[in-house]
């Protein structure tokens, strides 16, 4: 784990980022924050290094995809192409655009409950229907190089 400081910055994503992973909705787990951890454990233990078309370098994404009904959370990784999606899996695409990147020092600090207040205080419009937990993974050491959240700007 790197010792990156906590910080907030704007970033531009200039191309689609395709992601495939385990679907919380299809997992059969009861809806709870704790069960998101169970979903990630399943992904890490059984699937992390077996995702078809996984992009290199490895970047894992947890996505709260709130524009679907019912809302969806996906634990997975970036892929070069979205092929046939297995049972229990789902896919999504992070669209190009302007995002707020909130970086954190540890895996335990990845979700910023203060982001809505920070955005309002700074006059930033954020579409909270699209927020992504991002974990840049070093596949050789199997440690996270950087952990952050992305929030899509709308204004």
**Is the model's pLDDT at 107 over the cut of 50?**
no
| 145-151: average pLDDT | 84
| 59-76: average pLDDT | 80
Does 36 map to a domain? yes
| 113-121: average pLDDT | 77
- For residue 57, say if its preceding peptide bond is cis, omega within 30 degrees of 0: yes
> Which has more confidence, 99 or 140?
99
**Is the model's pLDDT at 3 over the cut of 60?**
no
pLDDT per residue over 122-131, tens digit each?
Answer: 888 988 777 7
Does 113 map to a domain? no
Does 29 map to a domain? yes
Structural domain including 66 reads 15-96+128-148
For residue 117, what pLDDT is reported? 80
Does 115 map to a domain? no
**Is the model's pLDDT at 58 over the cut of 90?**
no
How many domains are contained in the chain?
1
CA quadruple 73, 79, 82, 86: dihedral positive or negative? negative
Does 111 map to a domain? no
Nearest CA-CA partner of 40 in 89, 75, 65, 77: 75
- Tell me the three state secondary structure of residue 71: coil
Please report, rounded to a whole number, the percentage of residues in the chain having pLDDT higher than 70. 84
What's the Cα-to-Cα distance from 140 to each of 20, 70, 143, rounded to whole Å? 21, 37, 8
Does 119 map to a domain? no
Does 123 map to a domain? no
Place of tokens 């395709």: 18
pLDDT band at 141 (very low <50, low <70, confident <90, very high): confident
For residue 106, what pLDDT is reported? 47
Does 86 map to a domain? yes
């Amino acid at each position: 784990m790197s010792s990156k400081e906590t910080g907030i910055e704007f970033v531009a994503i200039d191309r689609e980022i395709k992601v495939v992973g385990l679907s919380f909705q299809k997992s059969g787990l009861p809806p709870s924050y704790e069960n998101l951890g169970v979903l990630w454990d399943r992904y890490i233990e059984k699937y992390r290094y077996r995702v078809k078309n996984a992009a290199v370098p490895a970047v894992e994404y947890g996505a709260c995809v709130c524009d679907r009904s019912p809302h969806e959370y996906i634990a997975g990784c970036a892929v070069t192409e979205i092929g046939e999606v297995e049972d229990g899996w789902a896919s999504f695409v992070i669209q190009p655009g302007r995002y707020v990147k909130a970086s954190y020092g540890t895996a335990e600090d990845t979700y910023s409950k203060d982001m809505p207040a920070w955005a309002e205080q700074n006059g930033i419009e954020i579409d909270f229907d699209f927020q992504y937990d991002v974990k840049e993974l070093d596949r050789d050491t199997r440690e996270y190089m950087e952990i952050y959240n992305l929030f899509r700007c709308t204004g």
